[in-house]
Structure 1
Amino acid sequence: MRFSWLFALPLLAATPVQAWGPVGHRITGAIADRNLSGAARAQVQMLLGVEDLAEAATWPDDMKSDPAEFWRKTASPWHYVTVGEGDHYSPSDAPKEGDAITALKRFTATLRDARASVEDRRLALRFVVHILGDLHQPLHAGGGGDRGGNDVKVTFFGQATNLHSVWDSGLIEQRALSYSEHAAWLSRSIAPRDTIDWSASGPATWLRESIALRKTIYPADPDLSWDYVYRHRAELDDRLRRGGVRIAAYLNAIFDSTAPAADIP
């Protein structure tokens, strides 16, 4: 299988939003752990030790409390993208501070660089796992008008919140499952053909999917409860499944020395 999308990733402008919540990131990390190749698993273990991908997936968010400028300012825009017009992005949309796509490109190069230090490659691995999860959250491919749904005020089962928070964590935590239970449930529903098809795609496809879904999730009624959950639960689970499978496929390709690297259109 060819992974021609690993290196030349287009740039997008950014909107200040947060990330999948910790449970969502752990779910995608746990699904990815189940789908790593032997070579990728060995490389991951050399970099992370006993830390698995579910734990690594939340680390860039955990570090936001660090007072260092890198975490408070530099890395802040690397969790999301904004598509300026329509359903497709353009390199001209990229902000100077970067975004999830530019960060993914840079961290991918670090992971594949045998000369990079262990510390730099460990940081890169954690960010790659995290960013790939974020790109599957539909409000991380924002349109630039409402800070990725953060400005859309709603109630969720009577609690005041915003639409971004509902998709980050509300819909996931409403099921009252641990991340490992949720990941196990979702993994059982991933067919072999799904793994093959989802693994063959790259960031351009992931973003198109997120943009298409994002356009359908804005509610007419801001009071959200069971009806909203019923309409969107399957879509949320699909994004988590795809994100987990694609994290594994991406890492498998990075750590496979025979995998080709070429520009994507």
Structure 2
Amino acid sequence: MKPMTSALLTLSAVSLCCSAAFYTSTASAWGQNGHRITGKIAEAYLTPAARQAIEDLLGPESLAEASTYADEMRSNPSEFWQKTANPFHYVTLQQPHDYHADDCPPQGDAMSALEDFTATLQSETASRDEKQLALRFIVHIIGDLHQPLHVGSAALNDRGGNDVKVKFYGEDSNLHSVWDTGLVEHQNLSYTEFSNWLQRRITDEQAQTWATPDPYVWINESSQLRDEVYPAADETSLSWDYVYNYTPVMKQRLQQGGVRIAAYLNNVFADAE
């Protein structure tokens, strides 16, 4: 893939087709705290080379801070943020669990964006601003792909659970929002508290096993989980039972997302070096 140059960043996006665009422009996988948790965990697993490269690009900005940039900029009126970048937060699978090249729509998706932004990071001609944007987006995208409902199903055609209306502890919501924020915020922890709790429970063996930089693996895992997290058709009120059953899944995906952010960046900056 070619590096994402400033020309590409201002490229007009093709209008999203209904079958591919499964989540609304206001959704953000894991919400702010969830993304920050994955970024904070990732910092513990960076190689010295990756850590230095990140510091050279971002200065004092942590990966936790960088992780939410792609959502925070959604109110920017530029065409890139209002149109082009919208599909970069998810993928939609035509097959049940594996991503194929044909799954990528003309306007792109999280996989194509990850490839483009990676090429930008490794480019010798991309500007510092372009590389900063690429790094922030990579951290965000990897977090997104670990939220099961950001790996959508064309067969379900429900916009990653956005169309599955539920009540969460009595409040109107939808399944996608429950996974973006509901399960995480129900813990009533700051992102630093939550990330510290989760990181301390990652064993060395788990860190080694999870540390794959292959997004096809992450997508397959999320798609398998996606099929499990849908409540029964008559189960529209989610509370203690649902939280009890799926909080362990949410926690592990946050842990894995953090480890994989580090694994991916370690690989990227090792290749660049």
Shift of 1:116: 1.4
- The residue aligned with 2:8 is none
- Separation in 1 of the partners of 2:179 and 2:56? 34
- Separation in 2 of the partners of 1:176 and 1:202? 32
Note the residue ranges of structure 1 that are not aligned, 5 or more in a row: 1-6, 8-12, 260-265
**Counterpart residue identity of residue 79, structure 1:** H
Aligned-partner SS, 2:123: coil
Tell me, yes or no, if structure 1 residue 176 matches structure 2 residue 188: yes
Match of 1:19 among 18, 28, 42: 28
Match of 2:236 among 183, 202, 222: 222
Tell me, yes or no, if structure 1 residue 79 matches structure 2 residue 93: no
- Separation in 1 of the partners of 2:178 and 2:205? 30
- Separation in 1 of the partners of 2:46 and 2:96? 35
Aligned-partner SS, 2:53: helix
Instruction: String of CA shifts for 1:73-129, please: whole Å, max 9, x gaps.
Output: 000000000001222232112210000000000000111113211111101000000
Aligned length, in residue pairs: 248
Q: 1:201 to 1:71 in 2, by over 3 A?
A: closer
Q: 1:199 to 1:24 in 2, by over 3 A?
A: same
Instruction: String of CA shifts for 1:110-160, please: whole Å, max 9, x gaps.
Output: 111132111111010000000000000000001131000000000011100
Q: Is the 8 A contact 2:73 2:81 kept in 1?
A: yes
Tell me, yes or no, if structure 1 residue 95 matches structure 2 residue 105: yes
- The residue aligned with 2:214 is 202
- Separation in 1 of the partners of 2:66 and 2:213? 23
**Counterpart residue identity of residue 19, structure 1:** S
TM-align CA RMSD = 1.4
**Counterpart residue identity of residue 155, structure 1:** K
Match of 1:167 among 153, 175, 179: 179
- Separation in 2 of the partners of 1:132 and 1:33? 14
Shift of 1:241: 0.2
Aligned-partner SS, 2:270: coil
- The residue aligned with 2:258 is 244
Q: Is the 8 A contact 1:14 1:99 kept in 2?
A: no
Runs (4+) off by over 3 Å = none
Aligned-partner SS, 1:154: strand
Instruction: String of CA shifts for 1:153-177, please: whole Å, max 9, x gaps.
Output: 0001110000000000000000100
What's the % identity of the aligned pairs? 52
Match of 2:268 among 239, 250, 254: 254
Instruction: String of CA shifts for 1:226-262, please: whole Å, max 9, x gaps.
Output: 1000000100001000000000111111111488xxx
Shift of 1:201: 4.9
**Counterpart residue identity of residue 213, structure 1:** L
Match of 2:245 among 225, 231, 235: 231
- Separation in 2 of the partners of 1:19 and 1:207? 17
Match of 1:120 among 124, 127, 130: 130
TM-score normalised by structure 1 residue count: 0.91
**Counterpart residue identity of residue 59, structure 1:** Y
- The residue aligned with 1:263 is none
Instruction: String of CA shifts for 1:41-98, please: whole Å, max 9, x gaps.
Output: 1111111111100000000000000011100100000000000122223211221000
- Separation in 2 of the partners of 1:202 and 1:187? 21
Q: Is the 8 A contact 2:213 2:267 kept in 1?
A: no
Shift of 1:195: 1.1
Q: 1:50 to 1:201 in 2, by over 3 A?
A: closer
- The residue aligned with 2:11 is none
Instruction: String of CA shifts for 1:200-237, please: whole Å, max 9, x gaps.
Output: 35111101100000001111211000100000010000
- Separation in 2 of the partners of 1:24 and 1:258? 29
